[in-house]
Amino acid sequence: MFDVNEVRKDFPMIQNNKDLIYFDSGATSFKPKCVIDAVMDYYTLYNSNIHRGDYDISVKVSKEYDDTRKTIARFIGADDPRCIVFTSGSTSALNLVAYNFGNSFLKQGDVILTSQVEHASNILPWFKAAEKAKAKIEYVPLNADATFDLKKYEDCFAQGNIKVVVLPHVSNVMGYIYPVKKIAEIAHAHGALVSIDGAQGVPHVKVDVKDLDIDFLSFSSHKMLGPAGAGVLYGKYDLLDRMEPLMYGGDSNARFYNDGTIILKGVPEKFESGTPCIEGVLGMNEAARYLMDLGMENVEEYGRYLTRYFIEKLEKLDNVEIYNPRSEAGIVSFNLKGIFAQDAASYFNKCGVALRSGTHCAKLIHNIINVTESLRATFNVYNTTEEIDRFVEIIRDTTIEKCVDSIL
């Protein structure tokens, strides 16, 4: 296991904000110095475009950019770096998949099976895909505590029309790790493909796409210690090969003619039109290496440890209601009894604790856990049990009067 105090030294945001307790890594994580340096180095040492220049610095940046595919492939257990498509983030990756299903993979009457815990980015593109293909959206029934039940999931296939299963690896409100391997096995047995939203999973849980045998995995750099503006769509090669890009333009085409014929490059270049977020990709390369150096098993174990530690402390308080007591992956959703989530979050801000309040972009989940809004604390490798202890003491003493006072 890594030494968290050593890890903290790697993060300038922590060194520069000694009094801040940052529990909103689920929204975006801090970045280690090696990632920031990679971005700075690009702009200060070899700023040039990729795949376009016959000069040394362009060759260098092209190589580093393309090498990032190898790093990311290793990071998620993919054999073929061509299966790593760079996108602007999870959202564009998820949209690219859903667009292709809506456009050509689905036909009228097909079913998209998803759940009500989905982040907006993993459900709205599918609403559009369903509209386009005249397909249907159906929701997997979850258990009362929003945990996943494989039996209920498998029963959904009885009707026979499910063509694609759309689920998160880790729910961004509940922090439950979904049994993705079994989910894929069951889907494939019924001829359905599987698209997994890895935005909250990849940063916290060891992922091996070969072992999980999933068809698509989308994730963002900025939640996994990398820069914003970059992300990844992993897909099986033959599926990516059948897909169309969302955008057309420079770098993705091999040739085009005045009669309108376009000859696209192959996978993955055909999906990457225009100058991408080069510094984001280079920074993501460092972020993936940094996480692999820590060891994703360790990252996962430490995340589980902090989550359990916080939940056990919260369970001892009588002014708190926890919505995901079985959370494992660094996400805890809760409320203070009788205090509106945003009032509490504003008060915590006054106390130096940053965390999220609201619906967390998963506006359907509150149909399941039956509250309209909640607080969400999310942890990452640089958070400590000391920070949790300090926060628990603040929560213990929080009253609605103090919350109101914070605006007076």
Catalytic residue among 34, 156, 277, 361: 361
Please, how many CA atoms are within 13 Å of residue 41, restricted to the half-sphere of its CB?
14
Choice between 321 and 373, CB closer to another protein: 373
* Known catalytic membership, residue 83: no
Q: How far is the CB of 346 from another protein (least distance, A)?
A: 6
64 in Cβ contact with 95 (< 8 Å)? no
Q: How far is the CB of 178 from another protein (least distance, A)?
A: 26
Choice between 103 and 346, CB closer to another protein: 346
CB-CB neighbours of 151 under 10 Å: 6
Interface with another protein in residues 386-405 (CB under 8 A): 400-401, 403-405
Interface with another protein in residues 214-243 (CB under 8 A): none
Q: How far is the CB of 406 from another protein (least distance, A)?
A: 8
- φ/ψ (deg, to 5) at 256: -150, 155
Residues pairing with 336 in the sheet: 320
Interface with another protein in residues 320-379 (CB under 8 A): 340-343, 346, 349, 357-359, 372-373
Choice between 236 and 363, CB closer to another protein: 363
Q: How far is the CB of 384 from another protein (least distance, A)?
A: 26
Q: How far is the CB of 342 from another protein (least distance, A)?
A: 5
Give, as one character, the DSSP assignment of residue 262: E
Distance CA 246, CA 96 (A): 6
Q: List % helix, strand, coil for the chain (3-state, nearest 5).
A: 45, 15, 40
Residues pairing with 193 in the sheet: 164
Interface with another protein in residues 168-197 (CB under 8 A): none
The residues, ordered by sequence, that sit 6+ positions from 365 with a Cβ below 8 Å of its Cβ are 116, 117, 146, 171, 173, 174, 359
**Residue 200 structure tokens:** 């909250």
Choice between 150 and 361, CB closer to another protein: 361
For residue 97, give the 3-state DSSP assignment.
Answer: helix
For residue 57, give the 3-state DSSP assignment.
Answer: helix
Choice between 115 and 359, CB closer to another protein: 359
Q: What does the binding site for another protein look like in residue numbers (CB under 8 A)?
A: 340-343, 346, 349, 357-359, 372-373, 400-401, 403-408
Cite the active site residues: 361
